[in-house]
Structure 1
Amino acid sequence: MFDFLRRKLLGHSGGRSRSEQARPGVQLLASVLVCFPEIEAVSYDPREGMLTMDFVVRVQLPPAEIEAFAAFLAESIETFHVLEESLATAMDFSYEQHEGLTILHLARRMDELSERELSLTMQLLTERFGEKLLVDTHGAETLDAEFRMLQHETLERMLVAVREIPLRDRLVGIRERDQVVVYNR
């Protein structure tokens, strides 16, 4: 109520602190990881406006198979957006291979994402890679059904909110045993 006095007397600008500004982004990335145990890590780059999700497949996939899946995923996301009467303007798909593992990186524009698109993506990954896809055993499927539904609704509201007030901080979220950790880079 007396913020104007506090600013005048104490010299505070009255603006939100850097940690308060980052909080919505931290909550968003944490929600993505809680809702989708298939995602091993997630990062957001405000310069590009892209949310990058990392998935681990427990085999070394042939490059032709990865490229075929990337094309299928791109077509599926584009079709989803046509049906939703929206646009999917940018998608980047890359991968890296390590001994016995393939890490898939999917980057999507944050302002185009929805919880439904993320759910579709997880379904396509699960159908394609099955048991080979690394899924956190402490993930959303082990949560109470009501809590899981609430998390998905919260995620959708947060994705809509970042369209109106874009995130300014570069953030990274990872899984660490049975926890989700999000930090500002």
Structure 2
Amino acid sequence: MTAKIKINEEMKGSMGLLISILARYPEVGTVTYDPLERMIQFSFLLHQDAEEKKMKVSAAVIEEALLLFHKLTKTNPQLLNVKVEKQNPISSLYINRDVDSLTFHEIALLVELLKQQVGSFCLSEKDNSNIIEDDEQLWQEEMITHLLDNLPGNEPSQSLYAYREEGRVMVFNK
């Protein structure tokens, strides 16, 4: 028995965006896209050793830096929210952003800020034997930029959820 999935062009754009983000940034644990709210949520998984107080300070620093980034680039995000949730045995750092003002440069800045603030506590599916070459990273960055710039306004009503498991990216309707 074969299952056929009908994917329209709008779904390809949003699915492609989630896949590209996860492929480019192994630090990103999951990405969720809500087309009705035009919102994307990044989640980063943190070791259980991470102190809750330090994580909350780090979340505040990341949010403040992103707000400064928007001030310097003269953009006005409709949604920018950073929060930490302590869950046993791990914690999660969530960043909610509207897709209309989100850029590749902000995603890259976000990941770098995360590395600086909680680098050693961030769970990542990096595989040192399979290092991504510069050309492929550049291609992925261009793909993310293209998909963000061309994400249609008439998205399907299904929210999408993407995560990485054993080197593969999985995307599901939420």
Query: TM over 0.5: same fold?
Result: yes
Q: Does the 8 Å CA contact 2:60/2:82 hold for their aligned counterparts?
A: no
Runs of 5+ consecutive residues of structure 1 not aligned to the other structure: 1-16
Q: Does the 8 Å CA contact 1:26/1:183 hold for their aligned counterparts?
A: no
Does the alignment pair 1:152 with 2:141? Answer: yes
More off after superposition, 102-111 vs 164-173: 164-173
Let me know the Cα RMSD of the aligned residues.
Answer: 2.0
Does the alignment pair 1:76 with 2:68? Answer: no
What is the SS of the residue equivalent to 2:36?
Answer: coil
What is the SS of the residue equivalent to 2:140?
Answer: helix
Matching residue of 1:27: 16
In the alignment of these two chains, the number of paired residues is: 167
Does the alignment pair 1:89 with 2:116? Answer: no
CA gap 1:123/1:166 in 2 versus in 1, 3 angstroms: farther
Q: CA shift at 1:60, angstroms?
A: 4.4
Q: Does the 8 Å CA contact 1:96/1:102 hold for their aligned counterparts?
A: yes
Q: Does the 8 Å CA contact 1:31/1:155 hold for their aligned counterparts?
A: yes
Q: Does the 8 Å CA contact 1:42/1:53 hold for their aligned counterparts?
A: yes
Q: CA shift at 1:178, angstroms?
A: 0.7
Work out the percentage of aligned pairs sharing the same amino acid.
23
More off after superposition, 174-183 vs 82-91: 82-91
What is the SS of the residue equivalent to 1:93?
Answer: strand
Does the alignment pair 1:46 with 2:43? Answer: no
Runs of 5+ consecutive residues of structure 2 not aligned to the other structure: none
Does the alignment pair 1:165 with 2:134? Answer: no
Report the TM-score when normalising by structure 2. 0.86
Instruction: Determine the C-alpha separation between the residues in 1 that align with 2:87 and 2:153.
Output: 38
Matching residue of 1:178: 167
One-letter amino acid of the counterpart of residue 170, structure 1: S
Q: Does the 8 Å CA contact 2:58/2:118 hold for their aligned counterparts?
A: no
The structure whose Rg is larger is 1
Q: Flag the structure with higher helix content.
A: 1
Instruction: Determine the C-alpha separation between the residues in 1 that align with 2:154 and 2:32.
Output: 15
One-letter amino acid of the counterpart of residue 22, structure 2: L
Matching residue of 1:58: 47
